[in-house]
Chain A
């Protein structure tokens, strides 16, 4: 079933497909029930000093807060420590199996956040026989009293395995079709408290998109059924192509 057709086109024959904009809200943090779909784990489980929690604050927004500590206790056998992370719980299907997310029709992930100026890492975990594989991308927050929408295109994500960035070209399109969990990680090696308020998380598709590949190849993605829909849409609204 050719749902997606991926074409590699040279710069000379660059074509842009106009696809209608779309977005899908995956999580909107306005109730305790949604907040409980995430769990927070820090290096306290491994013997470290950091602490973190994910709660709903008085203005009905999710708050990821705590303190990061890179202090190594004398008995620990670690060289580096200090991380706080948030991960969504995978919903399970009865009688067995997991419900995976499919975002192949979208280009980017968008967070509506009010951060404190720290750099967080967005982790996308997908179904794979390598459980330590993680697609990661940096999310820089502005800080200050205003809310901001941080949009991270999927092409910005790089592949990492147990914290080490991988060399090989990793095309995220295969992972986007089978997302298990999404998470946020703070590990910027700065001791101190942090807080990040999240309003919602959504995936978006922009009207016109050219995806840049991992190694800067110019690629673009054509969704076949959307292409057909677009033709209909264009004919309906703009009339038949003349000339």
Chain B
């Protein structure tokens, strides 16, 4: 217990509570009954156990020089860690900050700066990093101590800071941990906004875990052929057979031709009326989460009737994806199909590239695909 004399007639007492003063004063009397009574008073009134690292009741106000000095040192700690972009160095930087002083002055600035650097360390998916960052908050300082704090809440910027950290977690799709809940409970209390947000993240994420019927395998494959196969299976159905007609890598440029055709489609082509033409249309775009895939489609002529329903567009009898010179690859595809299904050799093929509904595929689009 520390007693400071600030102004004449007034004293400021830090690191304790009022009941402790009473017990300290009364315990000097050496009367056992008062002492034990005060102990019960002590335990009855105190709602939360005082932590070892609890902050003083009066917060020291920053002068502008101090704040700038603090920002510089915070920046220096993080810059040192940036030299080696690893999880260990990031965690060590947090430990260094924590060791500086017990009250953790300037922790809001530190947490915001560290949060903006998580992407550079590639630690977005790591729950331990977020927990360690949330652990920087001083404990037991922003908890509501009475109903007055609930009715007139103190606008701690730390609450917004914690909400920002949790928002980043939410964006990356990470569920909070047991440790996250424990830390948020210790820092902000039972009915605080950050703890509520963590609960909401868990509730909604578990509720929406399986609603996407077209979910990609995780981790998402980066190989363009694998991604292309997933897209083609989605288009043609599960009974489609994928064939890789050509795949070579030269000078770092990938060239491939992937095609899919189901047995029903093949049979339709064997019985096709050879007087009617077939159309090759494309390129069309299908999105697989955040990766666009471009495909071409082989269609029967619209006048060929299938079943009882009226069809405005012809039936799809084959789909392909390619990388490389578009026209030569498409010709290759048609040649291979003609080899497999001899009836097609007399059928006229009309190429309708850059169809009105499609988007022209340029070299830039190809480059974007490769980067992703």
Contact = CB atoms under 8 A, between A and B. Distances in A.
Interface of A: 57-59, 116-119, 138, 140, 142-146, 165, 167, 190, 192-195
B290 A116 contact: no
Interface stretch (B150-158, B208-216, B328-336): B208-216
A117 B286 contact: yes
A145 B235 CA distance: 7
Contacts of A142: 214, 234
Interface string B197-240: 00010001000100111100000000000000001001100000
A195 B234 contact: no
Contact of A143 (B208, B286, B359): B286
A13 to B, nearest CB: 27
Contacts of A117: 214, 234, 286-288
A194 B359 CA distance: 10
Contacts of B214: 117, 140, 142-143
Interface of B: 200, 204, 208, 211-214, 231, 234-235, 284-290, 292, 297, 312-313, 316, 319, 356-357, 359
29 contacts: A58-B356, A59-B312, A116-B287, A117-B287, A118-B287, A138-B208, A138-B211, A138-B212, A140-B214, A143-B231, A143-B234, A143-B235, A144-B234, A144-B235, A144-B286, A145-B235, A145-B313, A145-B316, A146-B235, A190-B287, A190-B289, A190-B290, A192-B287, A192-B292, A193-B285, A193-B359, A194-B287, A195-B285, A195-B357
For the complex, would chain A's binding face be called helix, strand, loop or mixed by DSSP majority? loop
A165 B208 CA distance: 13
Of residues B204, B212, B357, B359, which shows the largest number of chain A Cβ atoms within 10 Å of its Cβ? B357
A31 to B, nearest CB: 16
Contacts of B235: 143-146
A243 to B, nearest CB: 42
Contacts of A193: 285, 359
A57 B204 CA distance: 38
A233 to B, nearest CB: 28
Nearest to B203: A167
B303 to A, nearest CB: 16
A118 B290 CA distance: 9
Contact of A140 (B204, B213, B357, B359): B213
A167 B284 CA distance: 41
Given A116-B286, A145-B235, A194-B287, 4 more contacts: A59-B312, A142-B234, A143-B287, A146-B316
B176 to A, nearest CB: 16
Contacts of B290: 190
B201 to A, nearest CB: 11
A65 to B, nearest CB: 9
Contacts of B357: 57, 195
Contacts of B312: 59
Contacts of B359: 193
A55 to B, nearest CB: 12
Contacts of B356: 58
A117 B213 CA distance: 11
Contacts of B204: 165
Contacts of A146: 235, 316
A165 B211 CA distance: 17
Nearest to B207: A158
